[in-house]
Amino acid sequence: MAYENNVNNLTWYPWLNNQYKKIINFYNKNKCSTIIVYNSINDNSNNLLCYAVSRRLICQNSNYYKFCNTCNNCILMSNNNYPYYYKLHYLTLNIQKIRDIINNINKLSLKQVKIIYITNIEKLTYQIISTLLKIIEYPPSMTYFILSCNNISIVPMTIRSRCVCWNMQIPNENYSIKWLQTIIHNKEIIIRTSLRICNGSPINAILLLKSKLWHSRCILLSQLSNALLKKNMLLLLPILSTNDNEIIYLLITFISDIIKLIKNTSELFLINLDSVIRIKSFLHINKNDICKIYKFWHNLIKCWYYLNYKNNINRELLILHLLVNW
Protein backbone atom coordinates (compact mmCIF):
# COMPACT_ATOMS: atom_id res chain seq x y z
CA MET A 1 0.00 0.00 0.00
CA ALA A 2 1.11 3.56 -0.66
CA TYR A 3 1.58 4.46 2.96
CA GLU A 4 3.73 1.38 3.60
CA ASN A 5 6.34 2.14 0.99
CA ASN A 6 6.35 5.82 0.77
CA VAL A 7 6.61 7.63 4.05
CA ASN A 8 9.33 9.95 2.75
CA ASN A 9 11.90 7.16 2.57
CA LEU A 10 11.51 6.45 6.29
CA THR A 11 11.45 2.82 7.35
CA TRP A 12 7.91 1.69 7.96
CA TYR A 13 7.21 -1.02 10.54
CA PRO A 14 4.66 -3.76 9.82
CA TRP A 15 2.99 -3.53 13.25
CA LEU A 16 1.96 0.07 12.48
CA ASN A 17 -0.36 -0.95 9.62
CA ASN A 18 -3.36 -1.84 11.78
CA GLN A 19 -3.02 1.23 13.94
CA TYR A 20 -2.71 3.46 10.90
CA LYS A 21 -5.91 2.01 9.41
CA LYS A 22 -7.81 2.38 12.69
CA ILE A 23 -6.74 6.02 13.01
CA ILE A 24 -7.76 6.84 9.43
CA ASN A 25 -11.11 5.11 10.04
CA PHE A 26 -11.48 7.26 13.13
CA TYR A 27 -10.76 10.48 11.21
CA ASN A 28 -13.18 9.44 8.48
CA LYS A 29 -15.95 9.05 11.05
CA ASN A 30 -15.19 12.14 13.14
CA LYS A 31 -14.82 15.86 12.60
CA CYS A 32 -11.33 17.17 11.92
CA SER A 33 -11.61 19.29 15.05
CA THR A 34 -11.29 16.07 17.09
CA ILE A 35 -7.89 16.23 18.74
CA ILE A 36 -5.94 13.02 19.21
CA VAL A 37 -3.11 12.50 21.66
CA TYR A 38 -0.87 9.69 20.47
CA ASN A 39 0.58 7.94 23.49
CA SER A 40 3.57 5.68 22.89
CA ILE A 41 6.76 4.76 24.72
CA ASN A 42 8.53 4.72 21.36
CA ASP A 43 9.22 8.12 19.79
CA ASN A 44 10.24 6.52 16.52
CA SER A 45 6.93 4.70 15.95
CA ASN A 46 4.98 7.71 17.17
CA ASN A 47 6.74 10.05 14.74
CA LEU A 48 6.28 7.69 11.82
CA LEU A 49 2.61 7.11 12.47
CA CYS A 50 1.87 10.80 13.03
CA TYR A 51 3.72 11.68 9.84
CA ALA A 52 1.91 9.02 7.77
CA VAL A 53 -1.46 10.16 9.15
CA SER A 54 -0.53 13.77 8.32
CA ARG A 55 0.35 12.77 4.75
CA ARG A 56 -3.01 11.11 4.32
CA LEU A 57 -4.91 14.08 5.79
CA ILE A 58 -3.07 16.61 3.63
CA CYS A 59 -3.42 14.66 0.34
CA GLN A 60 -5.94 16.18 -2.12
CA ASN A 61 -6.68 12.86 -3.88
CA SER A 62 -6.59 10.43 -0.99
CA ASN A 63 -8.22 7.07 -1.48
CA TYR A 64 -9.38 5.92 1.93
CA TYR A 65 -6.10 4.76 3.54
CA LYS A 66 -3.79 5.85 0.75
CA PHE A 67 -2.30 9.19 -0.10
CA CYS A 68 -1.67 9.68 -3.81
CA ASN A 69 1.91 10.97 -3.70
CA THR A 70 1.31 12.91 -6.91
CA CYS A 71 -0.98 15.81 -5.99
CA ASN A 72 0.46 19.23 -5.27
CA ASN A 73 0.16 18.82 -1.51
CA CYS A 74 1.80 15.37 -1.56
CA ILE A 75 4.73 16.70 -3.60
CA LEU A 76 5.17 19.60 -1.20
CA MET A 77 5.06 17.21 1.78
CA SER A 78 7.60 14.88 0.11
CA ASN A 79 9.96 17.83 -0.22
CA ASN A 80 9.26 19.03 3.30
CA ASN A 81 7.80 22.20 1.81
CA TYR A 82 4.12 22.03 2.66
CA PRO A 83 3.71 25.41 4.38
CA TYR A 84 0.84 24.47 6.69
CA TYR A 85 2.37 21.41 8.35
CA TYR A 86 3.79 22.63 11.63
CA LYS A 87 5.83 20.07 13.51
CA LEU A 88 6.71 21.60 16.87
CA HIS A 89 9.19 20.16 19.32
CA TYR A 90 8.47 20.79 22.99
CA LEU A 91 12.00 22.14 23.61
CA THR A 92 11.76 24.90 21.00
CA LEU A 93 8.11 25.75 21.51
CA ASN A 94 7.04 28.99 23.14
CA ILE A 95 3.82 30.93 23.53
CA GLN A 96 4.67 33.50 20.87
CA LYS A 97 5.41 30.76 18.34
CA ILE A 98 1.97 29.19 18.89
CA ARG A 99 0.26 32.58 18.60
CA ASP A 100 2.13 33.40 15.38
CA ILE A 101 1.11 30.08 13.83
CA ILE A 102 -2.53 30.55 14.79
CA ASN A 103 -2.53 34.13 13.44
CA ASN A 104 -1.08 32.83 10.21
CA ILE A 105 -3.62 29.97 10.00
CA ASN A 106 -6.55 32.33 10.58
CA LYS A 107 -5.60 34.28 7.46
CA LEU A 108 -5.72 31.17 5.25
CA SER A 109 -8.54 29.81 3.14
CA LEU A 110 -11.10 27.86 5.14
CA LYS A 111 -10.60 24.83 2.86
CA GLN A 112 -6.83 24.64 3.28
CA VAL A 113 -5.78 21.67 5.42
CA LYS A 114 -3.51 22.66 8.29
CA ILE A 115 -1.72 20.34 10.71
CA ILE A 116 -0.22 21.31 14.03
CA TYR A 117 1.82 18.42 15.37
CA ILE A 118 3.33 18.89 18.84
CA THR A 119 5.65 16.27 20.33
CA ASN A 120 6.06 15.32 24.01
CA ILE A 121 3.17 17.37 25.30
CA GLU A 122 3.76 15.87 28.77
CA LYS A 123 6.87 18.08 28.92
CA LEU A 124 5.23 21.38 27.98
CA THR A 125 5.26 24.18 30.54
CA TYR A 126 2.11 25.23 32.33
CA GLN A 127 2.05 28.51 30.36
CA ILE A 128 2.22 26.75 26.99
CA ILE A 129 -0.46 24.27 28.04
CA SER A 130 -2.76 27.19 28.99
CA THR A 131 -2.22 28.86 25.61
CA LEU A 132 -2.80 25.58 23.80
CA LEU A 133 -5.99 24.97 25.73
CA LYS A 134 -7.48 28.29 24.64
CA ILE A 135 -6.73 27.41 21.02
CA ILE A 136 -8.06 23.87 21.02
CA GLU A 137 -11.23 25.08 22.73
CA TYR A 138 -12.11 26.92 19.48
CA PRO A 139 -9.82 25.41 16.84
CA PRO A 140 -9.39 27.16 13.47
CA SER A 141 -11.25 25.49 10.58
CA MET A 142 -9.70 22.52 8.77
CA THR A 143 -6.91 22.38 11.33
CA TYR A 144 -5.84 19.04 12.75
CA PHE A 145 -4.05 19.01 16.07
CA ILE A 146 -1.83 15.96 16.41
CA LEU A 147 -0.33 15.74 19.88
CA SER A 148 2.11 13.05 20.95
CA CYS A 149 3.45 11.97 24.32
CA ASN A 150 5.38 9.17 26.00
CA ASN A 151 3.43 9.18 29.23
CA ILE A 152 -0.25 10.13 29.08
CA SER A 153 -0.66 9.80 32.85
CA ILE A 154 1.24 13.03 33.48
CA VAL A 155 -0.42 15.07 30.71
CA PRO A 156 -2.61 17.66 32.48
CA MET A 157 -6.26 16.61 32.79
CA THR A 158 -7.31 19.91 31.20
CA ILE A 159 -5.73 18.72 27.95
CA ARG A 160 -6.74 15.06 28.27
CA SER A 161 -10.39 15.95 28.84
CA ARG A 162 -10.51 17.74 25.48
CA CYS A 163 -8.77 15.05 23.43
CA VAL A 164 -9.08 11.45 22.37
CA CYS A 165 -6.18 9.41 23.69
CA TRP A 166 -4.77 6.88 21.24
CA ASN A 167 -2.62 4.31 23.02
CA MET A 168 -0.19 2.84 20.53
CA GLN A 169 -0.11 -0.91 20.94
CA ILE A 170 3.16 -2.76 21.15
CA PRO A 171 3.53 -5.92 19.05
CA ASN A 172 3.31 -9.38 20.63
CA GLU A 173 6.64 -10.37 22.24
CA ASN A 174 7.24 -13.52 20.15
CA TYR A 175 6.32 -11.67 16.95
CA SER A 176 8.80 -8.91 17.86
CA ILE A 177 11.55 -11.45 18.57
CA LYS A 178 11.09 -13.05 15.15
CA TRP A 179 11.19 -9.62 13.51
CA LEU A 180 14.27 -8.58 15.50
CA GLN A 181 16.08 -11.83 14.60
CA THR A 182 15.96 -10.76 10.95
CA ILE A 183 17.86 -7.60 11.86
CA ILE A 184 20.21 -8.39 14.74
CA HIS A 185 22.04 -11.61 15.57
CA ASN A 186 22.05 -11.72 19.36
CA LYS A 187 20.85 -14.81 21.25
CA GLU A 188 17.09 -15.03 21.74
CA ILE A 189 17.39 -14.62 25.52
CA ILE A 190 19.32 -11.37 25.04
CA ILE A 191 16.77 -10.03 22.54
CA ARG A 192 13.88 -10.99 24.86
CA THR A 193 15.60 -9.25 27.78
CA SER A 194 16.21 -6.08 25.80
CA LEU A 195 12.61 -6.13 24.58
CA ARG A 196 11.30 -6.44 28.15
CA ILE A 197 13.54 -3.63 29.39
CA CYS A 198 12.12 -1.49 26.57
CA ASN A 199 8.51 -2.32 27.48
CA GLY A 200 8.03 -4.35 24.30
CA SER A 201 9.21 -1.75 21.80
CA PRO A 202 11.28 -3.55 19.10
CA ILE A 203 12.92 -0.32 17.91
CA ASN A 204 14.01 0.69 21.38
CA ALA A 205 15.25 -2.88 21.95
CA ILE A 206 17.63 -2.60 18.97
CA LEU A 207 18.83 0.82 20.10
CA LEU A 208 19.49 -0.48 23.61
CA LEU A 209 21.48 -3.51 22.39
CA LYS A 210 23.65 -1.26 20.23
CA SER A 211 24.17 1.36 22.92
CA LYS A 212 26.95 1.96 25.43
CA LEU A 213 24.26 1.56 28.08
CA TRP A 214 24.07 -2.20 27.38
CA HIS A 215 27.72 -2.52 28.40
CA SER A 216 27.14 -0.31 31.47
CA ARG A 217 24.31 -2.67 32.44
CA CYS A 218 26.83 -5.52 33.01
CA ILE A 219 28.92 -3.26 35.25
CA LEU A 220 25.78 -2.14 37.08
CA LEU A 221 24.83 -5.75 37.82
CA SER A 222 28.30 -6.54 39.23
CA GLN A 223 28.30 -3.41 41.35
CA LEU A 224 24.78 -4.11 42.60
CA SER A 225 25.92 -7.58 43.65
CA ASN A 226 28.83 -6.06 45.54
CA ALA A 227 26.66 -3.33 47.13
CA LEU A 228 24.08 -5.86 48.38
CA LEU A 229 26.80 -8.14 49.74
CA LYS A 230 28.49 -5.28 51.61
CA LYS A 231 25.15 -3.65 52.46
CA ASN A 232 26.40 -0.37 51.08
CA MET A 233 24.48 1.14 48.18
CA LEU A 234 26.98 4.01 47.96
CA LEU A 235 29.14 1.59 45.99
CA LEU A 236 26.73 2.24 43.11
CA LEU A 237 27.58 5.94 43.05
CA PRO A 238 30.34 5.76 40.38
CA ILE A 239 28.22 3.84 37.83
CA LEU A 240 25.09 5.95 38.45
CA SER A 241 27.02 9.23 38.25
CA THR A 242 28.91 8.51 35.06
CA ASN A 243 25.93 7.37 32.98
CA ASP A 244 22.78 9.16 31.88
CA ASN A 245 19.38 8.77 33.53
CA GLU A 246 18.63 5.49 31.75
CA ILE A 247 21.00 3.70 34.14
CA ILE A 248 18.53 4.46 36.97
CA TYR A 249 15.83 2.78 34.91
CA LEU A 250 18.02 -0.32 34.47
CA LEU A 251 18.58 -0.41 38.22
CA ILE A 252 14.80 -0.28 38.74
CA THR A 253 14.42 -3.36 36.51
CA PHE A 254 17.02 -5.31 38.53
CA ILE A 255 15.41 -4.37 41.85
CA SER A 256 11.95 -5.22 40.43
CA ASP A 257 13.26 -8.68 39.53
CA ILE A 258 14.70 -9.19 43.03
CA ILE A 259 11.30 -8.27 44.52
CA LYS A 260 9.53 -10.67 42.15
CA LEU A 261 11.81 -13.51 43.24
CA ILE A 262 11.30 -12.63 46.93
CA LYS A 263 7.57 -12.94 46.20
CA ASN A 264 8.15 -16.34 44.55
CA THR A 265 7.06 -15.12 41.14
CA SER A 266 7.91 -17.44 38.26
CA GLU A 267 11.22 -16.68 36.54
CA LEU A 268 9.29 -16.39 33.27
CA PHE A 269 7.98 -13.02 34.42
CA LEU A 270 11.37 -11.48 35.13
CA ILE A 271 12.62 -8.62 32.99
CA ASN A 272 16.34 -9.45 33.03
CA LEU A 273 15.99 -13.02 31.78
CA ASP A 274 19.65 -13.18 30.76
CA SER A 275 20.77 -12.60 34.36
CA VAL A 276 18.45 -14.88 36.35
CA ILE A 277 21.25 -16.83 38.07
CA ARG A 278 23.03 -13.63 39.16
CA ILE A 279 19.80 -12.08 40.45
CA LYS A 280 18.91 -15.29 42.34
CA SER A 281 22.27 -15.07 44.10
CA PHE A 282 21.10 -11.77 45.66
CA LEU A 283 18.41 -13.59 47.64
CA HIS A 284 20.74 -14.26 50.59
CA ILE A 285 19.52 -10.95 52.08
CA ASN A 286 17.90 -11.13 55.53
CA LYS A 287 14.41 -9.96 56.54
CA ASN A 288 15.44 -6.40 57.45
CA ASP A 289 17.07 -6.00 54.09
CA ILE A 290 13.88 -7.06 52.31
CA CYS A 291 12.13 -4.00 53.77
CA LYS A 292 15.08 -1.89 52.63
CA ILE A 293 14.83 -3.32 49.11
CA TYR A 294 11.15 -2.34 48.90
CA LYS A 295 11.96 1.18 50.14
CA PHE A 296 14.88 1.47 47.74
CA TRP A 297 12.68 0.42 44.81
CA HIS A 298 10.08 3.00 45.76
CA ASN A 299 12.71 5.77 46.10
CA LEU A 300 14.32 4.76 42.80
CA ILE A 301 11.02 5.25 40.97
CA LYS A 302 10.61 8.69 42.57
CA CYS A 303 14.17 9.56 41.60
CA TRP A 304 13.55 8.43 38.00
CA TYR A 305 10.42 10.58 37.83
CA TYR A 306 12.21 13.70 39.18
CA LEU A 307 15.12 13.27 36.80
CA ASN A 308 12.85 12.96 33.79
CA TYR A 309 10.04 15.36 34.49
CA LYS A 310 11.29 18.05 36.87
CA ASN A 311 13.51 20.94 35.88
CA ASN A 312 16.47 22.32 37.79
CA ILE A 313 17.14 19.14 39.72
CA ASN A 314 20.59 18.64 41.22
CA ARG A 315 21.22 15.17 39.82
CA GLU A 316 24.28 14.41 41.93
CA LEU A 317 22.61 15.32 45.20
CA LEU A 318 19.43 13.45 44.31
CA ILE A 319 21.35 10.24 43.57
CA LEU A 320 23.51 10.66 46.66
CA HIS A 321 20.40 11.13 48.80
CA LEU A 322 18.90 7.98 47.26
CA LEU A 323 21.95 5.85 48.01
CA VAL A 324 22.64 7.18 51.50
CA ASN A 325 19.03 6.61 52.56
CA TRP A 326 18.56 3.12 51.29
| Gyration radius of the chain over CA positions | 23
**Binding of Zn ion at residue 59 (CB under 5 A)?**
yes
The CA distance from 257 to 314, in Å, is 28
Shortest separation between residue 66's beta carbon and Zn ion, angstroms: 9
Shortest separation between residue 74's beta carbon and Zn ion, angstroms: 3
Amino acid identity at 264 = N
Q: Which is nearer to Zn ion, 71 or 301 (CB)?
A: 71
Q: How far apart are the first and last CA of the chain?
A: 55
Q: Which stretch binds Zn ion (CB under 5 A): 69-77, 144-152, 159-167, 211-219?
A: 69-77
Which of 71, 108, 219, 285 binds Zn ion (CB under 5 A)? It is 71
Q: Which is nearer to Zn ion, 59 or 248 (CB)?
A: 59
**Binding of Zn ion at residue 76 (CB under 5 A)?**
no
Q: How do beta strands 114-118 and 85-88 pair?
A: parallel
The CA distance from 305 to 298, in Å, is 11
C-beta neighbour count of 164 within 10 angstroms: 12
Q: Which stretch binds Zn ion (CB under 5 A): 59-67, 133-141, 156-164, 207-215?
A: 59-67
Contact 258, 313 (CB under 8 A): no
Strand-pair partners of 114: 143
Q: Which is nearer to Zn ion, 76 or 259 (CB)?
A: 76
Q: Which stretch binds Zn ion (CB under 5 A): 63-71, 214-222, 251-259, 264-272?
A: 63-71
Q: Which is nearer to Zn ion, 3 or 166 (CB)?
A: 3
Contact 121, 147 (CB under 8 A): yes
Contact 36, 23 (CB under 8 A): yes
Q: Compose the 225-264 pattern: x for residues touching Zn ion by CB under 5 A, - for all others.
A: ----------------------------------------
Shortest separation between residue 162's beta carbon and Zn ion, angstroms: 30
Reduced to 3 states, what is the DSSP secondary structure of residue 200?
coil
**Binding of Zn ion at residue 74 (CB under 5 A)?**
yes
Binding site for Zn ion (CB under 5 A): 59, 61, 67-68, 71, 74
